[in-house]
Amino acid sequence: MTELSKSGAAMTEPVKDSRPPSAFLEVRDLKVHFPTDDGLVKSVDGLNFTLEKGKTLGIVGESGSGKSVTSLGIMGLHTAGQYGKRKAQISGEIWLDGTELLSADPDYVRKLRGREMAMIFQDPLSALHPYYTIGQQIVEAYRIHNKVDKKTARRRAVEMLDRVGIPQPDKRVDSYPHEFSGGMRQRAMIAMSLVNNPELLIADEPTTALDVTVQAQILDLIRDLQKEFGSAVIVITHDLGVVAELSDDILVMYGGRCIERGPAEKVFYEPRHPYTWGLLGSMPRLDREQTERLIPVKGSPPSLINIPSGCAFNPRCPYADVPKDNVTRTVRPELSEVGSQHWAACHMTQEQRERIWIEEIAPKL
């Protein structure tokens, strides 16, 4: 592993007048808004979480919940390559290994990308450049951050392809993405992301475009590599199965905000938000006895331009009228601790939720 001084640069960076981070990755009050002709799209609207090295955070949510926007925000990809007048508005703090990224020099953040933090995308066919060979793309990723000649870089690329389980890597390194199968492409994508041993890996729907058996291979690979490199991993997905397999902690997003966050086991076995209940009830499960009917969440996800006032989930929530004074429709609930390292944002009291979960929801799952 080629070690460049990854932390040294932090001293030259302006440190925000703010309390120092407590974790390897700490996101504080992250907001990502996009101005459009129809209005301001509040894709992420105040998000907080922390992540330690070697641990995995699963971010779950439906399309439009802001989970992908969050990952791009951390990578600084909303500001890079923003052309024209309509720029994304980002605020908050992102502390990575002691450095605040949003206030840092963009070029400094650029240098971190691919080296300290890397990303795996959903559809490897479109995420890999169709005109360059797999090898060229990995070599490029390596040489941005390492002053080595092409030969060395190529050796490294072959090594990485071998590591992610691509057969005959010395030959396949010269293949183009379209000559790979879907699973192979995702392996190549992973090889490219990990070529610089990043300390933070963000996997955005890494297996959604893949078949079940290939998905199992890739999940296994990610797990394996994480164990080997000790990186912090954020897995973004809509599939509760994937999160359950990979994550230590789970963050459930709805309408651009976190509505529940906690250790995986807590979120699955003691969920404290009606939306989480809805997600669990919507899912047909292979590991349980056949149920007669699924329990869907009614209605559709909210528009991010007109997020419902109060609790964003209130129009779809079967328990919206449980708290008094119509509070669910007027006041936005903040996250509150409902257990050890477990937070949820709901107006219902702890007791109410506990009762509903135990009496009404859990038996039906």
Partner 1 sequence: MARGTAAGPRAVLAYLIRRLFAAAVMLVVIILVVFGIFFLVPRWAGVDPATMFVGKQADPAAIEAVRQKLGLGEPIFVQVWEFFKGLFVGRTYASGGDVTNCAAPCFGYSFRNEQAIWPVLTDRFPVTLALALGAAVLWLIFGVAAGVLSALKRGSLWDRGAMIVALSGVSLPIYFTGLLSLAIFSYGLGWLDAQYVPFAESPTGWFGGMILPWVTLAFLYAAMYARITRATMLEILGEDYIRTARAKGLREPVVIGKHAMRSTMTPILTMFGMDLGALIGGAILTETTFSLPGLGQAVLTAINTKDLPIILGVTLITSLAVIFANLVVDLLYAVIDPRVRLS
Partner 2 sequence: MSENAEDKAVSIPAQSTGSATLTKNAAPGETLLKVTGLQKHFPIRKGLLQRQVGAVRAVDGIDFEVKSGETLGVVGESGCGKSTMGRLITRLLEPTAGTVEFEGRDITHLGVGAMRPMRRDVQMIFQDPYSSLNPRHTIGTIVGAPFKLQGVTPEGGIKKEVQRLLSVVGLSPEHYNRYPHEFSGGQRQRIGIARALALNPKLVVADEPVSALDVSIQAQVVNLLDDLQQELGLTYVIIAHDLSVVRHVSDRIAVMYLGKIVELADRDSLYKAPMHPYTKALMSAVPIPDPRRRSAKSERILLKGDVPSPISPPSGCRFHTRCWKATEICKTVEPPLLELKPGQQVACHHPENAEDQAPHDTVLLTAARDAVELVAVGTAAELAEAERAAAAATEEPADVAKTSGPEAGNAGDDAAAAADAGTEGESPEPTEK
* Residues at the contact surface with partner 1, assessed by CB under 8 A: 72, 75, 77, 80-81, 83-86, 110-115, 118-119, 121, 123, 126-133, 140-141, 144-145, 175-176, 178-179, 189, 192
Q: Residue 294: which residues within 8 A CB-CB, separation 6 or more?
A: 281, 282, 283, 284
62 touching partner 2, by CB under 8 A: yes
Which residues are paired to 33 by β-bridges? 42, 89
Q: Residue 321: which residues within 8 A CB-CB, separation 6 or more?
A: 328
Which CB atom, from 217 or from 352, has the smaller least distance to partner 2?
A: 217
CB-CB contact of 154 with 183 (8 Å)? no
Among 16, 31, 155, 223, binds partner 2 (CB under 8 A): 223
281 touching partner 2, by CB under 8 A: yes
State which amino acid sits at residue 259. I
Q: Residue 180: which residues within 8 A CB-CB, separation 6 or more?
A: 134, 172, 188
CB-CB contact of 90 with 282 (8 Å)? no
Q: Which two tokens stand for residue 268?
A: 């699955």
Sign of CA dihedral 304, 306, 310, 313: negative
Q: How many residues bind partner 2 (CB under 8 A)?
A: 67
Which CB atom, from 77 or from 244, has the smaller least distance to partner 1?
A: 77
What does 136 interact with, of partner 2, partner 1, none (CB < 5 to 8 A by kind)? none
Helix/strand/coil (H/E/C) assignment for every residue in 15-64 = CCCCCCCCCCEEEEEEEEEEEECCEEEEEEEEEEEEECCCCEEEEECCCC
358 touching partner 2, by CB under 8 A: no
43 touching partner 2, by CB under 8 A: no
Which CB atom, from 72 or from 311, has the smaller least distance to partner 1?
A: 72
354 touching partner 2, by CB under 8 A: no
Task: Pick the closest to residue 95 from 198, 24, 32, 11 (CA basis).
Answer: 24
- What are the CA-CA distances from residue 3 to residues 8, 16, 149, 171 (Å)? 12, 27, 16, 28
CB-CB contact of 252 with 67 (8 Å)? no
159 touching partner 2, by CB under 8 A: no
- What are the CA-CA distances from residue 210 to residues 122, 205, 287 (Å)? 9, 10, 21
What does 327 interact with, of partner 2, partner 1, none (CB < 5 to 8 A by kind)? none
Find the binding residues for partner 2 in span 291-330 (CB under 8 A).
291, 293-298, 300-301
Which CB atom, from 126 or from 326, has the smaller least distance to partner 1?
A: 126
Residue 272 Cβ vs partner 1, minimum distance, rounded to whole Å:
35
What does 46 interact with, of partner 1, partner 2, none (CB < 5 to 8 A by kind)? none
Q: Which two tokens stand for residue 282?
A: 């919507």
Find the binding residues for partner 2 in span 162-181 (CB under 8 A).
165, 167-168, 172, 178-181
Which CB atom, from 109 or from 297, has the smaller least distance to partner 1?
A: 109
Q: List interacting residues with partner 2 (CB under 8 A).
A: 54-56, 62-63, 165, 167-168, 172, 178-184, 209, 211-217, 219-220, 223-224, 226-227, 230, 233, 238-248, 264-265, 268-269, 278-287, 290-291, 293-298, 300-301
